[in-house]
Amino acid sequence: MPVGDENPRSSPGGRRMQDAPGGGVGPGLSPVDRRTLLVCSFILAAALGQMNFTGHQVLRVLAKNEKQLSLLRDLESLKPQKVDFWRGPARPSLPVDMRVPFSELKDVKAYLESHGLAYSVMIKDIQVLLDQEREAMAKSRRLERSTSSFSYSSYHTLEEIYSWMDNFVTEHSDIVSKIQIGHSFENRSILVLKFSTGGSQRPAIWMDTGIHSREWITHATGIWTAKKIVNEYGKDPILTNILKSMDIFVEIVSNPDGFAFTHSMNRLWRKNKCNRPGVFCIGVDLNRNWRSGFGGNGSNDNPCSETYRGPYPHSEPEVAAIVDFITAHGNIKALISIHSYSQMLMYPYGHLLEPVSNEEELYNLAKDAVQALYEVHGIKYIYGSISTTLYVASGITVDWAYDSGIKYSFSFELRDTGRYGFLLPATEIIPTAQEMWMAIQTIMTHTLNHPY
């Protein structure tokens, strides 16, 4: 969820870093030249395959006050964009993490230093982590092929995940089925796994992962969770009891186009791949496209922004598919939307500072879930409402769910707190999923025991 990926098609023109003391970059290219260069770079990147992030660094800044936060927000408004916020400027108590391209490092560091903004280097060279990640995936793929198995401790492509789904549903057809709820902008299937022991329109739990495509740990956690459900049914009395009365829906790849793009071209892509006539930049932030609070603070009307909300609520097929499915079902009692990173468990509202009517219940449930999570591996999550814990964000999934009558609506930010950020090593998949399971189970149990 933390905002911002530098869009490879950032629009030219606008204010430049030369305005900042010590940040001189000269007059730069004309808008036409710059646009030509951007398009040529994009074509070249396409020809060569994955975008290269050699020398890109992730800097962490701890703002002391609102004035310093404002100086950091000014970086976001520069055109073309010079930084990609991994954790955006929110409040003085939270660190700000930003990816800075190698070509901009000197200017950005000079800007920070000239304004007295202390920073540290969290990731020295992003490409090193990407190379390690790709190497681990290739090694895992070779092993999977030789043993005809699926590794739950590895990252996978969209094709591999969809193939796994087919096999998984076939193997566990007594409890799992696959539902196609729609198609993405690029016409990929949007699939949901349904776990059920029978009956129709029973009370249900909804979980979604991967709405922001670069948050790979979320997809991997969703896959592991699906396997956990079938393994534990009939053995674990808590889960068995839940499934006797309720169904569970899990949407593992909520943004299939964006996710495919993170594998084929840009590992750090966040949005979907919507491309509208006359709009130079690609993609909408699917977690700003929901009706509740649409267009408010914490979203952007600039198509080149990583928090671009889209032209109107539910304009994106990936969002509309979920809205239509949940609305038609009519009996979803809890919604859990899973993001990364920051180690947080949050509930509505994101677009308002005012507490929801059952704030105390949600706070205590979040507290219990975080405690259950902590007891697995000793990992600490913070919790509270989105707007007071993280930042004001409008048009988000959980606000829509809550306003649609889903009383237990939660959003997770998984590991870590910034050492790897969105590039969490695959070695952390299993422990992340294990601790998450305890938190999810806590929420599901409370939902079961407090019918409404």
Report the candidate in 3, 9, 77 with the shortest Cα–Cα distance to residue 282. Answer: 9
Contact residues for 339 (Cβ-Cβ < 8 A; gap 6+): 1, 211, 212, 215, 218, 287, 411, 412, 413, 414
Report the candidate in 349, 290, 287 with the shortest Cα–Cα distance to residue 315. Answer: 290
Count Cβ neighbours within 10 Å for each residue of 238-248 and write b for 16 or more, e otherwise.
Answer: ebeebbeebbb
Catalytic residue among 251, 413, 428, 435: 413
Query: What is the biggest distance separating any 2 CA atoms in the chain, rounded to whole angstroms?
Result: 68
Q: Phi, psi at residue 200, to the nearest 5°?
A: -130, 150
Residue 155 near residue 216, CB atoms below 8 Å: yes
Residue 316 near residue 257, CB atoms below 8 Å: no
The yes-or-no answer on residue 413 being catalytic is: yes
CB atoms within 10 A of CB 130: 19
Type and span of the H or E element at 47: helix 31-48
Residue 154 near residue 136, CB atoms below 8 Å: yes
Any idea which residues carry the catalytic annotation?
A: 413
